[in-house]
Structure 1
């Protein structure tokens, strides 16, 4: 099978040097990525989640097993049953909890997902209608650092049509999820009515625009946060727009999508608790973000924190997590 030039050469070079885990559903996108990785001699194993929501769920799991055996890949399987209410949210939580457990136990460096150009445009349009900024609208990046691994989306610049053409050209079996055609989920309506027609008509221009926008996003997020467990420390920028964009991104990693009122509160107070869960505190040169806790602390510990200029709302998390304040000087 001849590989198509769908993956960036820089991505391929990076993946050849690392231990990779592919999130595999048996649908067209993840199946195309499976065979593209094979064609480019990328080392990887696969992880599959069976939600037991459709009759073909067991068939998709069996297909994952068959591919793993045929191509000598290790398969990690997880089966769960979720309630219908807010299914997508809880399915994502279960899925990533499973993936991250596998990654930590077996030492994988990258988690590969098959998000494509249509997924990126669909997200962009949904955020656009909600009054989001550039960073929020570009919620998907090809390479995204997580605490214990790197999340990679190698197909983010590729249209679904090209992936389907690849599957058909090589006569590769894959499965269609009927729930993707249901307008019960708002994202499906955006995909059907807006994202897919736009990409069909203007694919090349849309792909180029996202590449340019990604460069703009990097300028809005110029600083890399330091992370210790669930504590994040950012350099404080002279531009509050950059500060709030960086904070926004970290809060999203922690599962919180902030409103405009909350953003205004963060910048106005420079010391607040968002959603009763996460403390965001400015110091002279740094911004601290950590889970908000209340805990009695030893007098000596509080004095060390004071000397290290660690905000009071952050100290209980350091204390309970065993983080030495001295390393934050």
Structure 2
């Protein structure tokens, strides 16, 4: 196996030979064998071990084993203890998900602080098959059936071409010791149930199961490339605008394709949507209808679908004193300067009669019932009616701020000034307010 592993590194992962590498090691056979193989090849490796404190003395013994192994191989080792049960309870996670989040967050932290180029995990061919079956039983798209990626940014899985039998044979042939995790025997976890009860039957039916599975994965990845190319072509036509607040998709481009649901799924799957029939229905529904995921929402706005992140942050009103010449805000920076005359007609600049202002000024969001006196018009108008006349989308309305003097609106920021504060012939002090 060492020769095959070396060939795999040289042919497919040669960048590891010149990199500073961190190996995620549990003390189990897979990560221990990965450590020995990398050490045999002379790679620049260090070890990182997570003690999740879930199995009492057994967890501590795993940590002691990894530290001793590092000492035997003259390797740097990092060990971190976690209160996994408390984290799972506080964050409403399963124990397995909590351990995963804690593990990867710590690995990323180590990598950033100590300049590791890559992080190796010991996933192998059997793990890949188990992941495929888990996704298959739960229901998934093509992406869920294409297997564990060998390279995923900083995370590398160099054992993916090798089976658990290959790994065990190498360990026994080289008298390598490892730790057995008793929880791996429990079939209450889906992965273990597949590992111990389902996959052995599949291997009995087809002794070449892993080779057949690898062929299937390669074919599915080829198909995924074709799908990505087609989806990207549609997205190139469909995305009309994109900024920090939202992405606007043309409804017409999705309605042109033979299967809008499939294209919407592939385009939006990373944003957590699950009610795909509702997403498709947005194509033909009226303006204002929305579909939500836990993190994002999709809004129908005339001939567009607007994708935005759900903003959980509650913005406080912003106070501006007479002494302020600059104020940072969530939507940009406001500058306040005295001017000798009015010049320019851009929407991001207004000129007001400073003596008409009542300091401190307030910047706030729109509330129901707000009215103002639009500059250049006679009389007042509800802000809601102004929004409607300007054909603002729901997102644009939500991201519009008002500059106020007392209860009076001075400026619908970056859109329209209020007539009551305009500069007249009797104005003595002109204040220029600019948004950048």
Q: TM-score range by the shorter chain?
A: 0.7 to 0.9
Give secondary structure in 2 for the equivalent of 1:77: strand
Give secondary structure in 2 for the equivalent of 1:102: helix
Compared CA separation, residues 206 and 272, structure 1 to 2 (3 A): same
8 Å CA contact retained: 2:135, 2:144 = yes
Residue equivalent to 1:323? none
Residue equivalent to 2:228? 221
8 Å CA contact retained: 1:281, 1:287 = yes
Bigger relative contact order (CA 8 A; separation at least 6): 1
Superposition RMSD on alpha carbons, in Å?
3.9
Residue equivalent to 1:319? none
Residue equivalent to 1:163? 167
- Counterparts of 1:81 and 1:21, CA distance in 2: 23
Residue equivalent to 2:218? 211
Cα deviation 1:237-260 (Å, max 9, x = unaligned): 976535522532x34xxxx5x43x
8 Å CA contact retained: 2:5, 2:37 = no
Paired positions, count? 295
Compared CA separation, residues 287 and 72, structure 1 to 2 (3 A): farther
Structure whose alpha-carbon radius of gyration is higher:
2
Aligned mate of 2:295, from 277, 299, 310: 277
State how 1:11-26 maps to structure 2 within 5 Å.
11-26=12-27
State how 1:112-261 maps to structure 2 within 5 Å.
112-138=120-146, 140-145=148-153, 150-199=154-203, 201-202=207-208, 203-222=210-229, 240=260, 241-242=262-263, 244-248=265-269, 250-251=270-271, 256=272, 258-259=273-274
Compared CA separation, residues 293 and 63, structure 1 to 2 (3 A): same
Deviation at 1:162, TM superposition (A): 0.8
Aligned mate of 1:82, from 81, 84, 87: 84
Deviation at 1:114, TM superposition (A): 1.0
Aligned mate of 1:57, from 53, 56, 59: 59
Residue equivalent to 2:5? 5
Deviation at 1:269, TM superposition (A): 3.5
Residue equivalent to 1:322? none
8 Å CA contact retained: 1:24, 1:46 = yes
8 Å CA contact retained: 2:130, 2:191 = yes
Cα deviation 1:48-88 (Å, max 9, x = unaligned): 00112223222221222122223332212110233287211
8 Å CA contact retained: 1:3, 1:36 = no
8 Å CA contact retained: 2:150, 2:157 = yes
Matched, 1:292 2:294: no
In terms of fraction of residues, the more helix-rich structure is: 1
Which sits farther off after the overlay, 209-218 or 47-56?
209-218
Q: Which runs of 5+ in 2 are unaligned?
A: 236-243, 284-288, 316-329, 335-346, 349-392, 400-436
- Counterparts of 1:291 and 1:44, CA distance in 2: 41
8 Å CA contact retained: 1:231, 1:291 = no
Q: Which runs of 5+ in 1 are unaligned?
A: 305-309, 317-329
Compared CA separation, residues 131 and 12, structure 1 to 2 (3 A): closer
Q: Taking structure 1 as the reference length, what is the TM-score of the superposition?
A: 0.74
Give secondary structure in 1 for the equivalent of 2:44: coil
- Counterparts of 1:8 and 1:197, CA distance in 2: 32
Compared CA separation, residues 215 and 161, structure 1 to 2 (3 A): same
